[in-house]
Amino acid sequence: MSNLNDDFSYDKFKGKNNILEKLIFHKIYKKFNDNYKTDINVGSYCNQIKGELSYPYEDEELILHFCNIVYSILANVKKLQNDLYDYITKDDNIYCISLKYWLYEKIGNNDPKVSNIDKLFQSWKNKLENKIDVKLPVSCELYELDWNDMNKLRKIYAFALIYYSNLDTFKTNHHIECEFFDYLGKGLKEYYESLIECSNGNKSHEFCKELNEFQKIYKLDDIYWKNSTLNTGYIYDSDSTDDCPLVIESLQNPLLLNIIILKN
């Protein structure tokens, strides 16, 4: 049976697929999710801010974890730490997109009742930048989004960070379950549909600003893709690695992907 559950978890994905351990995003996510969760070196900064600002959704653990991550990124910019730039990548854009993906995943999976992501996260980021007197060299604004828009961007970011940035890896490895390809393929579909909605003025200004910033970085417009939308006749086994709904047909220029989208 096909599994169209959109509660994607990178932890679950990497737990089943060791090939991900070599990916740049995997190394960043591990730092964000595990290493930076409780960092006593950051505590003084984040605790100072804690007394000045409120918690979103009364989730102190999430906001302090977020604060730890932002501090560690900024500390690498200011050369107070070197565990990111010296050992993973110097690309500031990927840290920004990875931070947003991590945050949207946490909000989406931890509390589905949350209706929006508001300016509180951006306020914490601004306060921290002022505390240590440094900013990211790239724009990394946290916009006000409702849950649906946040979920759309989460899918788009997952496609770009995990799949599109590592096409050679996915082309040569055929032992990944179809349920993950289903989710990643939806990210590309969401990207193109969102571009159309933004150009027609049918999406919020904040969402379209974030999508535009992402578009300038990843330029997914260069992908040629065949989108087959089926009512019946195609059912994939979520645990199978054969006949999956996202397939790389060619890595040559132009890149060609085949995506099968099931109508609900």
**pLDDT tens digit string along 71-128?**
999 999 999 888 898 889 999 999 999 999 999 999 887 765 555 677 788 888 999 9
The answer to the question of residue 5 being in a domain is no
Among residues 158, 140, 218, which one has the least CA distance to residue 11? 158
User: What is the predicted pLDDT for the residue at 38?
Assistant: 67
The answer to the question of residue 1 being in a domain is no
The answer to the question of residue 3 being in a domain is no
C-alpha torsion sign, points 46, 108, 10, 190:
negative
- Tally of domains within the chain: 1
User: What is the predicted pLDDT for the residue at 42?
Assistant: 60
Mean pLDDT of the chain: 81
Cα 128 to Cα 47, 78, 98, 123, 252, distances in angstroms: 11, 13, 18, 9, 44
User: What is the predicted pLDDT for the residue at 55?
Assistant: 57
**Pairs from 121-128 (Cβ < 8 Å, separation ≥ 24):** 121/56, 121/63, 121/66, 123/53, 124/49, 124/53, 124/63, 124/66, 124/67, 124/70, 125/70, 127/49, 127/52, 127/53, 128/45, 128/46, 128/49, 128/67, 128/70, 128/71, 128/74
Q: Which has the higher per-residue pLDDT, 46 or 140?
A: 140
User: What is the predicted pLDDT for the residue at 16?
Assistant: 79
The domain containing residue 172 runs over which residues? 10-262
The tens digit of pLDDT for each residue in 7-28 reads 788 988 888 788 888 899 999 9
pLDDT at 223 over 90: no
- Of 45-49, 55-59, 63-67, least confident by mean pLDDT is 55-59
User: What is the predicted pLDDT for the residue at 44?
Assistant: 72
User: Coil, strand, or helix at residue 146?
Assistant: strand
- pLDDT band at 221, cuts 50/70/90? low
CA gap 11, 219 in Å, rounded:
27
The answer to the question of residue 183 being in a domain is yes
Look up the pTM and report it: 0.87
User: What is the predicted pLDDT for the residue at 116?
Assistant: 62
DSSP state of 232: S
User: What is the predicted pLDDT for the residue at 47?
Assistant: 80
CA gap 75, 69 in Å, rounded:
10
The tens digit of pLDDT for each residue in 121-177 reads 888 899 999 988 999 888 899 998 988 899 999 999 999 999 888 888 888 776 788
The answer to the question of residue 2 being in a domain is no
